[in-house]
Amino acid sequence: MHSCKETKERITELLLDEADSTPDTTLSAELLKCGDCRNEFATLKATLRMTKRSREQSAPT
Amino acid sequence: MTESDTDLIRRAQADDIDAFCLLAQRYARRIHLLAFHYCRNAQDAEDLSQEVWMKAYQALRSFRSDSSFYTWLRRITINAFLNHRRSTLFRKNGQTTAVQLVQIDDEPLESRAVSPENIYTKVLFENVVDALAELTPSQRLAFLLRHYEGMTYDEIAAAMNCSSGTVKKGVSRAITKLRAKLSPDTLAPDLDTPEPLTSLASEY
């Protein structure tokens, strides 16, 4: 059964710990089940992508 | 031909000032950007960068090539950040802009062609700098070292003299705060074009 709390914890863990890992298929399955969790993941990921892009744009050439 | 870091370091360790200046030129912008993101103030970042280079110059003879020159330099920079934080020398409510930052570059932002992409980049940069200002110094430092410098949690913990659990908590809180601070409008370009979940997950 889907648990938003557990899924969001896993999202946090994924974003914090597994930056270079292969996709987590279990988490992907949970995200497909729940729009809120999907949105949480997309928003956090977009935040990190924005900071990454900002860094890349200002990085030394 | 570009001289290697190793050659420049060897010359600089033999009191060749020109070699040290070449090394400084090579890494100045990177150190300045890290300092700028940490301080959010161009003047503080400049002061801090100068302090880093002074300390690097004084300590250069102790550099033993057991890490890269940049890793060694970054360690000095982190210590300078932490010392500054303790002495609370940073200006409060310092305001700055991307325009100030790029003055250290060869090509000022003003001279670049005004395109939607450049404007978006500038707005994005300023939003991120503003958002970083919402973090505590520890959270900001942990976030920058993790996401800008690519250091591991253990490396950050060693550098900041705390546990990796503390670093993780700090980075997690930093991401949560950044998410709240960065507006939905700014997030929109990413959210408007949903990606397959596998693609999203593969990046992180």
Q: In this structure, are residues A51 and B147 in contact, taking their beta carbons and an 8 Å threshold?
A: yes
Question: Cβ separation of B147 and A46 shorter than 8 Å?
Answer: no
Mean pLDDT of B12-20: 92
Question: Cβ separation of A52 and B198 shorter than 8 Å?
Answer: no
**pLDDT of B52-80, one tens digit each?**
999 999 999 999 888 899 999 999 999 99
Q: Measured between alpha carbons, how far is residue A56 from residues A40, B40, B77 in Å?
A: 24, 17, 20
Report yes or no on B135 lying in a domain.
Answer: yes
Mean pLDDT of B98-121: 50
Same domain, B59 and B125: no
Summary mean pLDDT of chain B: 78
Here the tokens at position B67 are 């890490």
How far is residue A32's CA from residue B8's CA, in Å, rounded to a whole number? 54
Same domain, B135 and B171: yes
CATH of the domain at B156: 1.10.10.10
How far is residue B37's CA from residue A37's CA, in Å, rounded to a whole number? 30
Question: Cβ separation of B128 and A60 shorter than 8 Å?
Answer: no
Report yes or no on B139 lying in a domain.
Answer: yes
CATH of the domain at B35: 1.10.1740.10
Same domain, B119 and B74: no
Q: Which residue of A has its CA nearest to B118?
A: A57
| ipTM score assigned to the predicted complex | 0.78
Q: Of the candidates B93, B128, B152, which is a domain's last residue?
A: B93
For residue B62, give how far its alpha carbon lies from the nearest alpha carbon of chain A (Å). 27
Higher pLDDT, B121 or A36: A36
Same domain, B125 and B85: no
Q: How many domains does chain B have?
A: 2
Here the tokens at position B60 are 């250069």
How far is residue B147's CA from residue B138's CA, in Å, rounded to a whole number? 14
**pLDDT of A11-47, one tens digit each?**
888 887 655 444 478 888 888 889 999 888 888 888 8
pLDDT at residue B159 in the model: 92
How far is residue A52's CA from residue B150's CA, in Å, rounded to a whole number? 11
Question: Cβ separation of B200 and A19 shorter than 8 Å?
Answer: no
Helices marked H in B60-115 — which ranges? 69-87, 98-101
Assess A47–B contact: CB distance below 8 Å, yes or no.
Answer: yes
pLDDT at residue B75 in the model: 92
**pLDDT of B78-97, one tens digit each?**
999 888 766 554 554 444 43
- Chain pair A-B, CB pairs under 8 angstroms: 90
Question: Cβ separation of A42 and B200 shorter than 8 Å?
Answer: yes
Helices marked H in chain B — which ranges? 5-13, 17-39, 42-59, 69-87, 98-101, 116-133, 137-143, 153-160, 164-181, 184-191, 197-203
Report yes or no on B107 lying in a domain.
Answer: no
Testing the interface with A: which of B99, B132, B197, B202 to mutate, by most A Cβ within 10 A?
A: B197
Using pLDDT thresholds of 50, 70 and 90, give the confidence band for residue B110.
very low
Same domain, B80 and B121: no
User: Which domain range does residue B16 map to?
Assistant: 1-93
pLDDT at residue B162 in the model: 93
